[in-house]
Amino acid sequence: MGDTPSVAFLLRGTADDPTQDSWGGRFVKKDGRPSWWLDDPDPTLQEADRPGAKTVNKWRQDYLRDWQMRMERCLGPKPK
């Protein structure tokens, strides 16, 4: 997506280096493909059958807590 580098820069991580941790995960370059990146296949980063899942999930509580606060704001003030 064209706006992904901009969003990635604002959220977390280094948009120019997908090998570093970021909100979208960590990736490795596929051999022989100049623009092909895959989820980091390190077995310690796998959850179930999803390689690299732990590189995204480590921020799960943070982004879900942020989402919860935003949704609570949408409800308006709590009744007294």
Domain spans of the chain? 4-74
Residue 15 has, within 13 A of its CA and on its CB side, a CA count of 11
Decide if 45 contacts 53 (C-beta within 8 A): yes
Q: Is the pTM of this model over 0.95?
A: no
Q: How many CB atoms lie within 10 A of CB 1?
A: 6
Would you give per-residue pLDDT tens digits along the chain (80 residues)?
A: 556 665 555 566 666 778 887 767 888 888 888 888 888 889 999 999 999 888 888 777 887 888 899 899 898 887 77
E strands within 1-80? 27-29, 37-39
